[in-house]
Each structure stands twice: as C-alpha cells, then as structure tokens.
Amino acid sequence: MKLSRRQTLKLLATAAPAFGLRKSFSQSSSTPPPLAITPGPYTNTRASLRAYTTPDWFADAKFGIWSHWGPQSAIGDGDWYARNMYIEGTAQYDYHLKRFGPQSKTGYKDLIPLFTADQWDPEHLMDLYQHAGAKYFFSMGVHHDGYDLWNSKYQPRWNSVASGPHKDVVGLWASAARARGLRFGVSEHLSNSFDWFAPAHLADTKGPYANVPYDGQNPAFADLYHDYSTMPANFAHTAQDMGRVAPDTWKLHYFNRVKDLIDQHQPDLLYTDGGISLEEYSLATVAELYNVGPYSYQNKSQAIYFSKTPTDCPDATSCVIDHERSVLNQIDPRPWQTDTCIGNWHYRVGEKYKSPKKVIDLLVDIVSKNGNLLLNIPLPASGLPDPEELRILEAITQWTSINGEAIYYTRPWKIHGEGPSTKVVIKPNGKEFDPNEGKQPDLTHQDIRFTTKGKTLYALAMGWPPTQPNQPTELLIQSLATNSPQQPGKPVDIRLLGHNESLRFTQDTTALRITLPSTPTPASNLGIALRINFA
C-alpha cells in the first residue's frame, strides 16, 4: 500500500526515537528538552524557516471569516473576561460579582458549563460564510483562558469534548469548511496564558472576602490556571498580561498542545496571538505547521503562519505579517493581513457592530494594498448569530456577489487609490496617518481604490456619485487622466460590475469621466466596481 505524504510523516514521527531523530529526555533541567517536530524540510531555527515563501493561494483569497468563540463568549460580557473578572475595579469584575457572586466562590472554571453550543450548526454557518465571499475560515483553537476547543491530549479536562458543549469544535468547523472548498485555519493564544491568568491566583484586597483566595490558587485546578509553585512568591502580583514569562516545562507543554492541534487537524493557516515569542518552542510550532500542513505539487508548503512581529517575517520569508485592528497607508509588496472584528472579540450582549459599509470599506482598501481581511463574527454561547450579525452577513453577501470579480485573484496596481482618504499629511504640519482601522474615515464615491487582474484594471468607488435632475451621473477618476503618470493607455471598454452594457466615457487632462447607468446597482451605497480594459 502506498502511503500518503501525511501518513509517511506521521509514521516517521512515531518511529523517530528508534532512529535517533529525537534526543533523550534524560538530560538536566537547564538544557531545553527535545521537541518532537514531525520530520520534514523545516526545523526550529530561523535559518530553516527562511526557505519558506507565502503560497499564491493566500494572495488570491483576500477575505476570511473567524469564529473567535469559546467559554468567554458564553458570559456575554466581551473579551478577556477570564482575566478581568479577577481584577478588582474592572467592569468585568463588578459584572461577575453582581451576576455570579464573589470570585472566591464562583471562579472561571464554574462558568465553562455555560458554553453550550446548543444551537450551533457549523454546516449552515459555513454556507452563510461562503456565500458572503469568505475564501478561508478560522476557528479559535485555544484562547488565553487555556480551554482547548478540540479533543486535546494535553488538556484532557478543560476542552470542548470533555466539558462545555461536549463537541470537537475545531474538528466540526474544519469538516464544514473543507466540504465547501474553504481553506481552514486555527488561532492559538496559549503562549500568553501562563502570566495572563495570574490574577486568578490573587484574592480580594478589601470587603467581606478580603484575603480569601480565588480558585486559581487551588492546586486541584492548576491544569487550567497554571502551577506557579516554581515561580517567585510575588509572581501573581507582578506578572504582565502579555509578558510570556514561563518556565521551560510549561513552554514544552505549550509546544506539545499546539502540535497536537496541528497534527489532529492539519490546518492551512495558524494564527498565534503575538508571534514567534518563545524562541525554539515557537519556532518548533511553525516548523510543525509547515511540515504537516498541505503541500503543492511542486513540494512547497501551502500552509501559512501569521506573526504580529514584522522581524519574524524577513524579506517575504518565514511567515505572513498580521496587523491586528490596523491597516497600512500604502502597498506592501508582501501579502499581509488585517484581523479585526465587527464588535468585541468575544461576544458581548448589546455591542454596537461595524456597519456593512465599514466592512466593505476596509476590505476594498486592504485589498488595494496587497492585504487580506480576516473578519471575526463573534458567536454567543448558543452558537447562533444574533439578528444584527445576520443582517451584516447578508449585506456583505449582496456586495461580494456583484463585485467579487474586482477583489478575488487580483493584485495591486501602481497606486492603491485616490481621493480625500489618501491625502496623508505628515506631522508637524498636519494630521498623521492613523493605522487604527476604527479611526479610518468613512469612504465616499470620491475615494477610489484600484486592483488588477492580468491586463484589466478595476476601479472601486466607495459609493454612488450624487445625481442631478435630468443630468447623467458621472464618476471621475483623476489617476486615469491623459497626462497622469499612472496612465496605462487609452481605455477601450468600461463596464460596471452588475451591468452588462459598455459605458460611455471621455478622457482629458483632468480625469477619466465615466457616465454611469441611470439605475444604481444593488448595494451601490457600499461601493461600486468598474472593469476597465485598455487598447
């Protein structure tokens, strides 16, 4: 019987000790323990990872949807609940006290049964996401709270099969995504967990429960809240939320858990909240992904690892840079990604969401600069999106079904766009570009973004121009004036996506002037796309 590549790699991994491919565990505690990386082209060195380059499929895909979903979503009070509920004075501490009682009596572990997923239908949701134009999908694998959303070998008590919904969340998401041809990714936030959970090891400093330990101090629950017995006595008081300070024994545990996630589900993409921060342990995680994940017929890794640290991804090698909740102000020749959310990362009742207009503005702007958008649609405990989330998905679906030709499989043009939103003034003479995507201005018909596909240029205007009675509606593109340095030639055919007929146009030294149809396309308030072919 001929073994597949994955079967061969797994067989080699099992046999590795016998063939001397792994070091013995009988070494001093001061020496880093051996890391059981599945044999393949990559090892846990930065030099090895520089042989990796980003696969083309990612630059084609442009848009992904993320389910940032887990037990913290079940409380309905937003992100980082498992940490903040133990910090006196925070809104989530006060919320917990009012709803569940003192933290010394009801800890985070006691809230996990609220994560029911009783109305979760991954097949139906994946249909919605695919129709909305997503080309890849991300499942949460494990958040800072240390709760694994798969049948975890190294977290046997606190995982979604053993507790909570009693379902392999990652596995069911993966099956639904792959059945529809979507690439599948997982996110892991575990590298921050050891010190992130430090407040659970404290106690109230005042009130009726002053000095009564929170449940994180109970050794019986160290598998969730971590064992601090080898750390300095004041570690819980001084640990930083994203400090990533931990003993090597825990770093090895981290690697083994994420390796287990990778080996079980062979994701196409892995998002680590931070980057290659635990050096050889994190490098081993990247190597495991690239060795186990999908390969092309040219025997090149088709998997993608994301880092938020640009130096992790030098010269378009090793990984892809992710910009959390931020965008670039120019084209980056390397494919990159913005990850953001329509609201709070974990579901929050009453949250005000981004409008469909804001989502499409972000998507188009990011794609014009050679980036991808990963959008989180947060789910509540039940796994059923709320009505407003469904409305947003429906609007995105309507827009991408008409204008997706100008988004998917495209590449940047000479410039990313024109219009008021591109007028960046550098300090001290004015306002500097703010990369925070939440502070980007709403785009209008004057804000135009460009993409290309072969010899075709797409111009995406982010709204329908105002109409005048008895006057044709015109769109002006100054970057395509006859004397523009970007001018690729004389246009011969211009069509509005969603309409079949060729449009009338004129071109002079001020602009390309296009007469639009009398009837706007559906979703034109979110933006329109013009296909322009040149002589």
Interatomic CA distance for residues 188 and 140, integer angstroms: 7
The helix or strand, by DSSP H or E, that contains position 506, with its residue range, turns out to be strand 505-507
Amino acid at 427: K
In this structure, the answer to whether residues 382 and 422 fall within a common structural domain is no
Q: What is the rounded distance in angstroms from the CA atom of residue 77 to the CA atom of residue 111?
A: 13
Distance CA 234, CA 113 (A): 32
Separation CA 533–CA 535 (nearest Å):
7
CA distance 204 to 215: 12
Instruction: Report yes or no on 205 lying in a domain.
Output: no
Same domain? 391 vs 465: no
The pLDDT assigned to 426 comes to 52
Do 338 and 392 share a domain, yes or no?
yes
Cβ count near 455 (within 10 Å)? 9
- pLDDT of residue 222 exceeding 50, the answer is yes
Confidence of residue 440 (pLDDT cuts 50, 70, 90): confident
Residue 134 lies in a domain: yes
Judge if 485 and 365 occupy the same domain: no
Q: Is residue 153 part of a domain?
A: yes
Residue range of the domain that includes 259: 44-75+105-194+233-283+295-405
SS3 514: strand
* Co-location of 109 and 251 in the same domain: yes
Summarised one tens digit per residue, pLDDT across range 281-333 is 999 999 999 999 999 888 999 999 999 999 999 988 999 999 999 999 999 99
- The pLDDT, as a whole number, for residue 33 is 53
Give the separation between CA 132 and CA 397, rounded to whole angstroms: 4
Q: Name the percent of the chain in helix, strand, coil, to the closest 5.
A: 35, 20, 50
Mean pLDDT of 389-396: 98
Position 433 scores a pLDDT of 74
Q: Which of 196, 221, 331 is nearest to 273 (CA)?
A: 196
| CB distance 510 to 481 below 8 Å | yes
Residue type, position 398, single letter: Q
Distance between CA atoms of residues 338 and 324, nearest Å: 6
Q: DSSP state, 21? A: -
**Would you state the pLDDT for residue 12?**
38
pLDDT of residue 2: 38
Residue 437 has pLDDT above 80, yes or no: yes
Tell me: do 422 and 358 sit in the same domain: no
pLDDT on residue 487: 87
Whether residue 39 lies inside any domain: the answer is: no
Q: Is residue 200 part of a domain?
A: no
In a domain, 28, yes or no: no
Domain end, chosen from 405, 436, 467, is at 405
Kindly state the average pLDDT of the residues 324-353. Answer: 97
- Which pLDDT does position 52 carry in this prediction? 97
Number of domains observed in the structure of the chain: 2
Residue 439: its pLDDT value, please? 82
Higher-scoring residue by pLDDT: 509, 17: 509
Is residue 211, in this structure, part of any structural domain at all?
Answer: no
* Whole-angstrom distance, CA of residue 219 vs CA of residue 213: 12
Instruction: Determine what percent of the chain is predicted with pLDDT higher than 70.
Output: 92
In percent, the amount of the chain with pLDDT more than 90 equals 87
pLDDT at 6: 45
Query: Given this model, what pLDDT does residue 435 score?
Result: 87
Q: What is the pLDDT of residues 96-152, one digit of tens each?
A: 999 999 999 999 999 999 999 999 999 999 999 999 999 999 999 999 999 999 999
- Let me know whether 423 and 381 are in one domain: no
Per-residue pLDDT for 25 more than 60? no
Pairing of strands 528-534, 456-461: antiparallel
pLDDT(18) > 60? no
Computed from CA positions of residues 15, 20, 23, 25, in that sequence, does the dihedral angle turn out positive or negative?
A: positive
Co-location of 334 and 440 in the same domain = no
Q: Which of the pair, 160 or 23, is modelled with greater confidence? A: 160
Instruction: Judge contact between 477 and 417, C-beta under 8 A.
Output: no
| Domain endpoint, select from 349, 376, 405 | 405
The whole-chain average pLDDT of the chain stands at 92
Q: Is 364 helix (H, G, I), strand (E, B) or coil?
A: helix
Residue 425, pLDDT score? 54
Mean pLDDT value across residues 328-342: 97
> 385 and 461 share a domain?
no
CATH number at residue 58: 3.20.20.80
DSSP string, 139-183: EEEE-TT--BSS--SS-SSSBTTTSTT-S-HHHHHHHHHHHTT-E
In a domain, 82, yes or no: no
163: which residues sit within 8 A by CB, 6+ positions away?
112, 113, 157
Cα 495 to the center of its chain, rounded Å: 34
389-410 average pLDDT score: 98
On the CB side of 426, CA atoms within 13 Å amount to 1
Place of tokens 């597949």: 4
Which pLDDT does position 381 carry in this prediction?
97
Which residue bears the tokens 């988004």? 407
The DSSP bridge partners found for residue 418 are 448
d(C-alpha 528, C-alpha 478), whole Å: 17
Distance CA 257, CA 148 (A): 9
**Vertex 377, ends 138 and 458: CA angle to 5°?**
80
Q: The CATH number of the domain where 448 resides is what? A: 2.60.40.1180
* Together in a domain, 139 and 59: yes
**The pLDDT of residue 231 is above 50:** yes
Burial of residue 75 (number of CB atoms within 10 Å: 0-12, 13-18, 19+): buried
Same domain, 165 and 237: yes
* Cβ(427)–Cβ(434) below 8 Å: no
Quote the pLDDT of residue 298: 86
Domain boundary among 405, 431, 463: 405
The SS3 call for residue 371 is strand
CB count within 10 Å of CB 208 equals 7
pLDDT range class, residue 493, cuts 50, 70, 90: very high
Q: How confident is the model at residue 7 (pLDDT cuts 50, 70, 90)?
A: very low
User: Are residues 441 and 376 located together in one domain of the fold?
Assistant: no
Q: Does residue 428 have a cis bond before it (omega within 30 degrees)?
A: yes
